[in-house]
Amino acid sequence: MTSSLRAGVVIPTVAALKVAISLSGLPDLLRNDHQLSSPLTSFSQLQEGLYLFKHGIDPYSGGTFRHSPLLLALFSSVLPTSTLFAAVFWALSDAVAAWALVEIWRARQNVSSSTRDGLVALGYLANPYTILPSLALSTSTLENTLLLLAVMFAAQKKAAPSLLSLAFLSHLAPPAILIFPPLALLLLTDPHSHLASPQKLSLNKRRIFPLVLEFLIYAGALTFASTLVAGSWNWIPQTWGTWLTLPDLTPNPGLWWYFFTEMFDHFRPFFLMVFSMHLVIYVAPLCIKFQHDPLFALFILTGVLGIFKAYPTLSDPGLFLSMTAAFPEIFPYLRHPIVTSLLHLHAALLLPLFHHLWLTQGTGNANFFYASTLVFACANGAAVMDSLWAGMRIAIGKNTEDYGIVQE
């Protein structure tokens, strides 16, 4: 492997290239694209909230600002919001995310470095689903970085920074709290691949309680800090409550917005409960099935959240697709990789086309764009199912090889 594909060269090179592209004016064209940023991740809305906050006006009183008070505190006191700094900061965030993914790969392979490090980094940095939201300055890029950092620290057995990263991420995107069970299992086991030798996990449940307590302490401290920044508890229904009540039906690549646009008001609470609980039901089965390999369970759960969360952007499924680079053992066992790739190619063409026809040209309607999001959901679902199938087939394939059995 040439030195040009080493992570230490690839990551800063691509980061510098992203800064150059960001300063070209392209982000101004992407910033308000509904596929790349949602009302909860839009940089434009963050700037509006910062303007109100700096002028002594409660940004949460208007019912349109959805960002965490933690972002208000960071960008109003520590981090400036100039065009140059934003370009550099988001590029650095991508670089840190790619580095974290490389470290996850190394921990899983139990090596200090490998010839695949650069390819793993490119799996994140060269993914169009992560590049475009980053250029649009969507805060979903920061969320991806926090998630990868939490997983990286867990794989390295560093409980405090891992749980703190997850607590911070949960404040920005509450559905991320569902990652806690497999993350806790990862902290108590090892990150190495055990898909070929599934065994029941012998775990002392008393070891989990300190992790739960530590996470709650971090989450409580961040909640208290957020309340001090906001000056009241009004930020909670405007941020966390948005994920449960879905007050903003701005189009996005997800499955919620169109369904609730057409929903009768008296059915709305029931289906909000159904859609919210639908995310929760995947956690226990995945943790139980892959208790011998919690890192793989976390990987699959990331893909599920990318499909079914209330306000997704392209970066959510993009993170899952990028993480596949850290699990090369599943590649030979993927069932329909060509079909899944073609579905993603099809969706990648339909999404911007139908979005443009509906919202720019005015020659279509909401059904156009929602049809493309359904194709996108099918592509993401196919990727998750393929990976899940491969993870379960590895053990069978290994056993047949050991006994000299030829698979048809």
**Residue 5, pLDDT score:** 64
pLDDT reported for residue 22: 83
CB 16 within 8 Å of CB 111: no
Task: Report pLDDT digits (tens) over 94-103.
Answer: 999 999 999 9
Query: Above 60 in pLDDT, residue 401?
Result: no
pLDDT band at 406 (very low <50, low <70, confident <90, very high): very low
Percent of residues, the chain, with pLDDT higher than 90 = 59
Q: Is 76 a member of any domain?
A: yes
- Predicted local confidence at residue 21, as pLDDT: 87
**By the 8 A CB rule, do 296 and 282 touch?**
no
Is residue 347, in this structure, part of any structural domain at all? no
Local confidence band at 3 (pLDDT 50, 70, 90 cut-offs): very low
User: Identity (one letter) of the amino acid at 186?
Assistant: L
Q: Is residue 351 assigned to a domain? A: no
Residue-level pLDDT at 346: 93
| Residues 302/387, Cβ–Cβ less than 8 Å | no
Count the domains in the chain.
Answer: 1
Per residue in 7-40, pLDDT (tens digit) is: 778 888 888 898 888 887 777 788 888 899 999 9
Confidence of residue 2 (pLDDT cuts 50, 70, 90): very low
Coil, helix or strand at residue 185: helix
- Please compute the mean of the pLDDT values over residues 377-395 and round it to a whole number: 92
pLDDT band of residue 303 (cuts 50, 70, 90) is very high
pLDDT, position 79: 74
Domain assignment present for residue 303? The answer is yes
Query: 387 with 322: CB under 8 angstroms?
Result: no
CB 163 within 8 A of CB 149: no
Instruction: Specify the pLDDT at position 400.
Output: 47
Q: Is residue 165 part of a domain?
A: yes
Yes or no: say if 242 and 38 are a contact pair by the CB < 8 Å rule.
Answer: no
pLDDT tens-digit readout, 174-228: 999 999 999 999 999 888 888 888 877 777 777 889 999 999 999 999 999 999 9
User: 397, 403, 349: which is closest to 371 by C-alpha?
Assistant: 349
Give the three-class secondary structure for 81: coil
* Mean pLDDT of all residues in 394-403: 60
Confidence check: pLDDT of 289 > 80: yes
- Residue 364, in any domain of the structure: no
Identify which of 29, 59, 65, 58 has the alpha carbon closest to the alpha carbon of residue 242: 65
Sign of CA dihedral 233, 238, 239, 244: positive
Which tens digits make up the pLDDT trace of 41-86? 999 899 899 999 988 888 998 778 899 999 998 888 877 777 788 8
- Provide the domain limits for residue 208: 3-326
Using pLDDT thresholds of 50, 70 and 90, give the confidence band for residue 305: very high
pLDDT at 398 (0 to 100)? 57
Mean pLDDT of the chain: 88
Q: 213 in a domain, yes or no?
A: yes
| CA 86/CA 64 separation, integer angstroms | 23
Contact 104, 150 (CB under 8 A): no
For 90-128, the pLDDT digits (tens) are 999 999 999 999 999 999 998 888 888 889 999 999 999
Would residue 361 count as lying in a domain? no
**CA-CA-CA-CA torsion sign (42, 44, 49, 53):** positive
Q: How many CB atoms lie within 10 A of CB 166?
A: 26
Check whether 165 has a pLDDT greater than 90. yes
Tokens of 96: 């840190």
The mean-pLDDT minimum among 45-49, 60-64, 242-246, 334-338 falls in 60-64
Rounded to whole angstroms, the Cα distance separating 230 from 69 reads 6
Question: What is the largest distance, in Å, between two alpha-carbon atoms of the chain?
Answer: 73
Q: What separation in angstroms does the CA of 278 have from each of 129, 150, 377, 395?
A: 24, 24, 15, 29
Looking at residue 108, its pLDDT comes to: 92
Question: 319-322: long-range contacts at Cβ-Cβ below 8 A with a sequence spacing of 24 or more?
Answer: 319/124, 319/130, 319/144, 319/147, 319/148, 320/380, 320/383, 320/384, 321/127, 321/129, 321/383, 322/101, 322/123, 322/124, 322/127, 322/130
SS3 content of the chain, % helix, strand, coil (to 5): 75, 0, 25
Q: Could you identify the residue written with the tokens 């049809």?
A: 371
What is the per-residue pLDDT for 399?
Answer: 52
118: CB partners within 8 A, 6+ apart: 1, 4, 5, 6, 7, 9, 10
Structure tokens at 180: 């806690």
- How many whole angstroms separate alpha carbon 281 and alpha carbon 176? 14
Give residue 386's pLDDT: 94
DSSP labels for 4-56? Answer: GGSHHHHHHHHHHHHHHHHTTTHHHHHTT-TTT--TTT-HHHHHHHHHHHHTT
Q: Considering only residues 282 and 114, tell me which one the structure prediction assigns the higher pLDDT.
A: 282
Rg of the chain (C-alpha set): 21
User: Residue ranges of the alpha helices (H) in 197-336?
Assistant: 208-230, 235-245, 256-261, 268-280, 283-289, 294-308, 315-323
